[in-house]
Amino acid sequence: MKDDVLRLFFALGCPPELTEAIATWRSSLNVHGRPVAAANLHLTLAFLGQQPRARVAQLQGLADGLRAKAFELHLDRLGRHRNGLLYLAPSHTPEALLELVEQLNNNLRSAAIQLESRPFRAHLSLLRHCPQLPIDAPPSFAWPVSRFSLFASEQNTRGTHYRPLHTWPLRHGDLD
Ligand code: ATP
Ligand code: MG
């Protein structure tokens, strides 16, 4: 990729304790497939794709203006996409998560930043090329979400690496 272009996305980076719990549980599953690196576990909020590096400052300003609340996410559903992607998802998507995504999308759109048009479906990718949904009991992970980040997706000799460029806190309580 050219130096002046970055592959960007906003996401919830999985916190270290949860990453460890999910990775341990995942290795106990009786499944085939290529595990997503533990350091890369995340939940994508908005995918921007290739953007000029010079746009990062504008994206930061745009996310600075968000007023979104902290929330708790329950990852309690194991799913498999037709393309073989095994993922964890919430069986109920919290309103605060939908609001965060909507605010992000609105701000991006009003800054005329091109977005991928796939509808938002909250999920955390676990394994690729998974031939079938494991019959193991679904898990239940509680994720207290109190921040979100802008990441650059980069390739290195070990594969894909997500570099956090900036992280924003979400608001606790009802204070404005
Ligand atoms: P790789 O593609 O290198 O195997 P990856 O899919 O994890 O790894 P990226 O393709 O850079 O890395 O994607 C980063 C994040 O954005 C992932 O959560 C991915 O699912 C999501 N994503 C990628 N392409 C799109 C898209 N076209 N629309 C929505 N989300 C996307
Ligand atoms: Mg990809």
Residue 143 pLDDT greater than 90, yes or no:
yes
Residue 46 pLDDT greater than 90, yes or no:
yes
Lowest mean pLDDT among 2-6, 29-33, 150-154, 162-166: 2-6
The answer to whether the CB of 129 falls within 8 A of the CB of 140 is: no
- CA-to-CA distance for 28 and 7, rounded, in angstroms? 33
In ligand 1, the atom with minimum distance to the C-alpha of 159 is 3
The answer to whether the CB of 7 falls within 8 A of the CB of 50 is: yes
Quote the mean pLDDT of the chain.
Answer: 93
Which positions ≥6 away from 50 have C-beta within 8 Å? 1, 5, 6, 7, 8
Q: Domains plus CATH for the chain?
A: 2-169 (3.90.1140.10)
Tell me what percent of the residues of the chain surpass a pLDDT of 70.
96
Q: Which of 40, 45, 47 to mutate to test the pocket of ligand 1 (most atoms within 8 A of CB)?
A: 47
- Write down the pLDDT at residue 23: 97
Residue 153 pLDDT greater than 60, yes or no:
yes
Residue nearest to atom 27 of ligand 1 (CA): 116
The answer to whether the CB of 127 falls within 8 A of the CB of 31 is: yes
With both helix axes pointing from N to C terminus, report the angle between 95-110 and 56-64 in degrees, rounded to the nearest 10: 130
Read off the pLDDT of residues 8-17 as tens digits, 9 standing for 90 and up: 999 999 999 9
Residue nearest to atom 10 of ligand 1 (CA): 153
Whether 32 is catalytic? no
